[in-house]
């Protein structure tokens, strides 16, 4: 595997030069080092001369095996030896390719956690897709990763919904999803809110009642949140997004955790109570006060979030939160406070906003493209494409494929962009199933499956005879390395790029290298390569939450 070879060179470099200087060889080699430049400065000799000596010393190292060392100017290049193909392919054709031994570390990935005041829109699902892909990658690599949706069921937004349910007279339509119904109520309630100040007081009163635990109010809140959440969950399921648990914010109020953490916070010297209860974190470099209680004694989201994270910290070894860039300030405040309390802070992955061509999205203003609309449109387009290509298939089979293709297109389209980039939602791109897309990768997988289905039994062999086969095998060998990178850097888009490159290489191989028509050990080797490719594609797609179709 690539990561093992890389680690080996790093070790050898460390022994010889004292620094683990290894880099990707790009088009020149599998791995390379430019350590000669740094040494040239210290030793005051030419980098070429040093590279030459370095190359000789590395070549003599007992651990170098059959790796070929090549000195090119100031660079020392490493080319994997003949044994590499068998190392990679014999491993990749196993039932589970990347998964190593099971890790004991317990992870919790919190993602989506959208307020239950309407359906998920194309901004929310960026959170879901990044978070779900991350959790899946951890699981692929043998970690125990639980995903949680933190349900804000007692915030101001929900109070507005409850108020609206009583005042607007809006009723749920036949067949309407709960989340879409709640959104209509929420939007209408906000209109009323803009008109009079008394309504604001009414909402404050609702929030006080629910926090006190007034049974009637609690029941109305609960019902509204459940209706909305049922709709949201349906959307998430359609997107292959899995939440292991929904954690209700109000539980931390009811079980006393919130009061307990407030009591602890009060003992901190940074805590102040004048009107509101807040922390002055300016010594931590945060100028904005971190308010935990309103002047009417009710808690704000921050207080409940603190309790939630303390609970997570006690039940998991590592916490990862996926949050929008708008949560950066509050995220820093949360982390600083947890540290002051001697608790474990989460690692927060922030992603930048998705906007519409006409401006930013807003549930309150009713300006958004819902995930449900997106899924429906893309599925219909996909159904058309499937029908065009496979008119022979029965209709339900075509719909099944279309759904998988649509989710592949949507998830890939979103996950492929680095999280720190803000994006503008574009229907044309969302509906594109061509080269840099999920369906493109799914298609490569289906082609591999098709060959294997026609091949019958074969004994694995590892004799690669041309550049197409070698390039493909090398890309397969990188999958564990890429997944490691995704876990360390919390950047699932790297996996999307990897999968696309793997599909590229396979498609080229497919075009130039006949498999079923070849014979003897060549045929066995090519089938081994196809099987390895299928496994690598399958596991990469699995980590991206995209169905690995065997036919499309």
Partner RNA sequence: GGGCCUGUGGCUUAGCCUGGACAUAGCGCCGGGCUUCUAACCCGGAUGUCGGGGGUUCAAAUCCCCCCAGGCCCGCCA
Which residues, 307 to 346, sit near RNA by CB under 7 A? 325-330
| Nearer of residues 115 and 535 to RNA, judged by Cβ | 115
| Nearer of residues 91 and 538 to RNA, judged by Cβ | 538
Closest distance of CB 545 from RNA, Å: 17
Measured distance CA(295)–CA(285) in Å, rounded? 25
Site for RNA in 491-520 (CB under 7 A): 491, 493-494, 497, 500, 504, 507-517
Residue 364 CA neighbour count, 13 Å, CB half = 10
Measured distance CA(508)–CA(501) in Å, rounded? 11
**Residue 165 CB contacts under 8 Å (≥ 6 apart), including other chains:** 185, 220, 224
208 binds RNA (CB under 7 A): no
Closest distance of CB 36 from RNA, Å: 8
The three-state secondary structure class of 71 is strand
161 binds RNA (CB under 7 A): no
Closest distance of CB 303 from RNA, Å: 8
Site map for RNA, 109-138, x if CB under 7 A?
------x-----------------------
Site for RNA in 348-367 (CB under 7 A): 352-353, 355, 360
Site for RNA in 48-107 (CB under 7 A): 72-73, 75, 77
The three-state secondary structure class of 305 is helix
| Nearer of residues 156 and 243 to RNA, judged by Cβ | 156
Tell me the DSSP string of 116-158: SSS--BTTHHHHHHHHHHHHHHHHHTT-EEEEEEEE--SSHHH
Distinct helix (H) and strand (E) counts, the chain:
21, 14
The three-state secondary structure class of 547 is coil
Which candidate, 147, 137, 241, places its Cα nearest to that of 492?
A: 137
Q: Which of 420, 465, 467, 521 binds RNA (CB under 7 A)?
A: 420
Sign of the dihedral defined by the CA atoms of residues 231, 234, 240, 246, in that order: positive
Point out which residues pair with 274 in neighbouring strands.
276
SS3 of 320-369: EEEEEHHHHHHHHHHHHHHHHCCCCCCEEEEECCEEECCECCECCCCECC
| Nearer of residues 93 and 323 to RNA, judged by Cβ | 323
- Burial of residue 453 (CB within 10 Å: 0-12, 13-18, 19+) is exposed
**Residue 235 CB contacts under 8 Å (≥ 6 apart), including other chains:** 119, 120, 125, 179, 371, 372, 375
Measured distance CA(143)–CA(132) in Å, rounded? 14
300 binds RNA (CB under 7 A): yes
| Nearer of residues 102 and 544 to RNA, judged by Cβ | 544
| Nearer of residues 178 and 492 to RNA, judged by Cβ | 492
Closest distance of CB 453 from RNA, Å: 8
Closest distance of CB 100 from RNA, Å: 21
Q: Which of 103, 192, 418, 542 binds RNA (CB under 7 A)?
A: 418
Site for RNA in 378-397 (CB under 7 A): 382, 385-386, 389-390
Site map for RNA, 210-239, x if CB under 7 A?
------------------------------
| Nearer of residues 113 and 370 to RNA, judged by Cβ | 113
Closest distance of CB 552 from RNA, Å: 4
Measured distance CA(310)–CA(326) in Å, rounded? 22
Site for RNA in 474-493 (CB under 7 A): 488-489, 491, 493
Closest distance of CB 111 from RNA, Å: 14
| Nearer of residues 66 and 420 to RNA, judged by Cβ | 420
Which candidate, 112, 111, 106, places its Cα nearest to that of 139?
A: 106
| Nearer of residues 24 and 176 to RNA, judged by Cβ | 24
The three-state secondary structure class of 290 is strand
Closest distance of CB 368 from RNA, Å: 13
Scanning 59-67, 82-90, 459-467, 543-551 for contacts with RNA by CB under 7 A, the matching segment is 543-551
Q: Are 5 and 69 in contact (CB under 8 A)?
A: no
Residues in binding contact with RNA, number by CB under 7 A: 95
The three-state secondary structure class of 44 is coil
| Nearer of residues 233 and 550 to RNA, judged by Cβ | 550
Q: Which of 221, 440, 462, 481 binds RNA (CB under 7 A)?
A: 440
Q: Are 525 and 421 in contact (CB under 8 A)?
A: no
Scanning 8-16, 152-160, 229-237, 458-466 for contacts with RNA by CB under 7 A, the matching segment is 152-160
Q: Which of 260, 288, 347, 521 binds RNA (CB under 7 A)?
A: 288
């Amino acid at each position: 595997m690539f990561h093992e070879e890389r680690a080996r060179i790093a070790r050898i470099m460390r022994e010889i030069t004292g620094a683990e200087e290894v880099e990707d060889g790009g088009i020149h080699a599998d791995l390379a080092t430019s350590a000669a430049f740094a040494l040239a400065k210290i030793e005051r000799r030419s980098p070429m001369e040093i590279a030459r000596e370095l190359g000789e010393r590395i070549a003599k190292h007992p651990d170098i095996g059959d790796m070929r060392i090549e000195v090119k100017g100031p660079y020392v290049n490493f080319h994997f030896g003949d044994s590499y193909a068998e190392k990679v392919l014999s491993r990749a054709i196993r039932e589970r390719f990347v998964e190593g031994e099971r890790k004991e570390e317990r992870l919790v990935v919190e993602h989506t956690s959208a307020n239950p005041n309407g359906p998920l829109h194309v901004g929310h699902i960026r959170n879901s897709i990044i978070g779900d892909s991350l959790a899946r990658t951890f699981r692929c690599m043998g970690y125990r990763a639980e995903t949680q949706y933190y349900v804000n069921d007692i915030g101001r937004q929900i109070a507005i919904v409850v108020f609206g349910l009583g005042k607007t007279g809006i009723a749920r339509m036949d067949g309407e999803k709960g989340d879409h119904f709640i959104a209509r109520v929420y939007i209408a309630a906000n209109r009323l809110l803009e008109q009079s100040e008394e309504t604001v007081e009414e909402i404050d009163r609702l929030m006080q009642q629910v926090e006190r635990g007034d049974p009637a109010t609690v029941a109305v809140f609960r019902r509204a949140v459940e209706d909305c959440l049922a709709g949201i969950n349906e959307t998430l399921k359609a997107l292959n997004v899995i939440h292991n648990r929904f954690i209700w914010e109000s539980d931390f109020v009811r079980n006393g955790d919130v009061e307990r953490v407030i009591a602890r916070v009060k003992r901190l010297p940074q805590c102040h109570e004048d009107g509101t209860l807040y922390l002055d974190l300016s010594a931590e470099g945060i100028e904005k006060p971190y308010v935990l209680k309103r002047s009417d004694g009710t808690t704000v989201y921050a207080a409940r979030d603190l309790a939630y994270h303390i609970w997570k910290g006690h039940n998991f070894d590592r916490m990862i939160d996926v949050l929008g860039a708008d949560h950066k300030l509050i995220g820093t405040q949360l982390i600083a406070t947890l540290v002051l309390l001697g608790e474990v802070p989460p690692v927060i992955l922030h992603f930048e906003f998705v906007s519409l061509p006409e401006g930013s999205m807003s549930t309150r203003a009713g300006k958004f493209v819902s995930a449900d609309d997106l899924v429906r449109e893309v599925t219909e387009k996909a159904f058309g494409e499937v029908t065009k290509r496979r008119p022979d298939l029965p209709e339900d089979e075509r719909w099944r494929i279309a759904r998988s293709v649509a989710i592949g297109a949507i998830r890939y389209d979103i996950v492929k962009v680095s999280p720190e980039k803000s994006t503008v939602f574009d229907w044309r791109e969302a509906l594109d199933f061509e080269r840099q897309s999920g369906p493109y990768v799914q298609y490569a997988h289906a082609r591999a499956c098709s060959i294997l289905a026609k091949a019958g039994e074969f004994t694995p062999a590892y004799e690669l005879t041309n550049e197409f086969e070698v390039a493909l095998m090398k890309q397969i060998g990188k999958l564990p390395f890429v997944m490691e990178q995704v876990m360390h850097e919390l950047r699932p888009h790297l996996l999307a790029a990897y999968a696309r490159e793997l599909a590229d290489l396979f498609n080229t191989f497919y075009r130039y290298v006949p498999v079923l028509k070849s014979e003897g050990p060549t045929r066995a080797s090519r089938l081994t390569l196809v099987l390895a490719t299928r496994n690598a594609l399958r596991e990469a797609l699995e980590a991206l939450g995209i169905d690995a179709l065997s036919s499309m």
